[in-house]
């Protein structure tokens, strides 16, 4: 992707873009941590603050962004704590969304009550997400996150020549392993998901969690929004998932047939993550943020990581009471 649009996004242009919504910026501007898009906290003359998100040109179509925003508003209208945009519009070459600022802290996932609380709200998100499918947003599948990512990486020069054979072999074996996991799971239902429900996208307050950044919302298995809350050994993850599902299943049924997908979904994320960085390497923010990507050590570590995942996908699914 050509980085030129973001290179021209000066502070003055950010303020002009926010002013185009009808709001009145007061000059306060803070760049927030975001690689995929550009995100800024912008002060307003009425002492308010908004968060302005400038979508990466070319990543999503207009219709796909509209569908993301409609889903966020659908959830917010049902009093599910998802931060939905207040403004959504095109300005020059950018698609922009403005959000209210919402603070919070990192949730304490070692607390079973916190896991159940988060699970309740994910269950509510999924109860809405299951009502109807997305029409135009992408789906999370072995093809989109696995095979296409692998094919793209093989078309680049990022993988060192002396590691290319090993990487090709391990990714081929990993993709075969995750296909077996999908076969073992059977015909599980795809629903509308948050899509990237990791701890960084869940902010905690005394009133509980709220969810931000539906930029990766897509169709996929419900487990995609649950597995990133789990960590540690099998016993620890089983206990954590038990607590999450205790809350989740107050609002939505969880199909236990999805459990063989847990390590498969993790494997897909690992392969997709490398392709995501490679696709964005033209953006100067990426070499600065990920200097280790273009190194021998990075690809050695990915080969070892995928070998571990191949072994994990051969194990029995987690048992959840």
DSSP string computed for 138-203: -B--IIIIIIHHHHHHHTSS-S-HHHHHHHHHHHHHHHHHHHHHHHHH-SPPPEEE-S---GGGEE
- Distance, in Å, from the CA atom of 301 to the CA atom of 298, rounded to the nearest integer, reads 5
Catalytic residue (choose from 66, 111, 206, 213): 213
Query: Which is nearest to 269 in space by CA: 261, 257, 281?
Result: 261
Element (H, E) at 205: strand 202-205
Catalytic residue (choose from 2, 26, 187, 196): 196
Query: Which is nearest to 223 in space by CA: 201, 256, 199?
Result: 256
Give Cα 224 distance to the centre of its chain: 10
Sequence-distant (≥ 6) Cβ neighbours of residue 96 within 8 angstroms: 17, 18, 21, 52, 53, 54, 55, 87, 88, 89, 90
Is 213 noted as a catalytic residue in this protein?
yes
Is 225 noted as a catalytic residue in this protein?
no
- Distance, in Å, from the CA atom of 273 to the CA atom of 285, rounded to the nearest integer, reads 16
> Residues with catalytic annotation?
196, 213
């Amino acid at each position: 992707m050509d980085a030129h649009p973001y290179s021209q996004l000066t502070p003055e242009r950010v303020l002009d873009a926010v002013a185009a919504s009808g709001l009145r910026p007061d000059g306060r501007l803070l760049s927030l941590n975001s690689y995929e898009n550009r995100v800024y906290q912008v002060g307003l003359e009425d002492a308010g603050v908004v968060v302005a998100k400038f979508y990466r040109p070319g990543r999503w179509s207009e219709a796909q962004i509209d569908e993301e925003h409609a889903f966020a508003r659908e959830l917010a209208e049902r009093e599910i704590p998802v931060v939905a945009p207040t403004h959504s519009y095109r300005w020059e070459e950018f698609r922009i969304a403005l959000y209210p600022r919402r603070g919070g802290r990192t949730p304490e996932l070692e607390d079973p009550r916190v896991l159940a609380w988060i699970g309740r709200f994910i269950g509510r998100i999924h109860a809405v997400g299951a009502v109807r499918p997305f029409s135009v947003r992408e789906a999370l599948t072995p093809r989109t996150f696995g095979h296409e990512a692998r094919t793209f990486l093989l078309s680049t020069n990022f993988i060192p020549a002396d590691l290319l054979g090993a990487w090709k072999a391990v990714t081929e074996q990993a993709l075969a392993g995750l296909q077996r996991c999908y076969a073992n799971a059977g015909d599980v239902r795809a629903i509308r998901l948050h899509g990237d429900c990791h701890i960084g996208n869940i902010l905690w307050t005394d009133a509980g969690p709220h969810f931000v950044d539906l930029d990766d919302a897509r169709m996929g298995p419900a487990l995609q929004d649950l597995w990133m809350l789990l960590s540690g050994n099998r016993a620890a993850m089983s206990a954590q998932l038990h607590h999450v599902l205790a809350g989740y299943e107050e609002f939505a049924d969880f199909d236990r047939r999805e459990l063989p997908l847990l390590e498969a979904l993790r494997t897909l994320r690992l392969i997709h993550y490398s392709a995501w960085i490679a696709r964005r390497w033209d953006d100067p923010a990426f070499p600065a943020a990920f200097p280790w990507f273009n190194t021998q050590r990075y690809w050695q570590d990915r080969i070892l990581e995928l070998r571990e995942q191949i072994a994990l996908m051969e194990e029995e699914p987690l048992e959840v009471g």
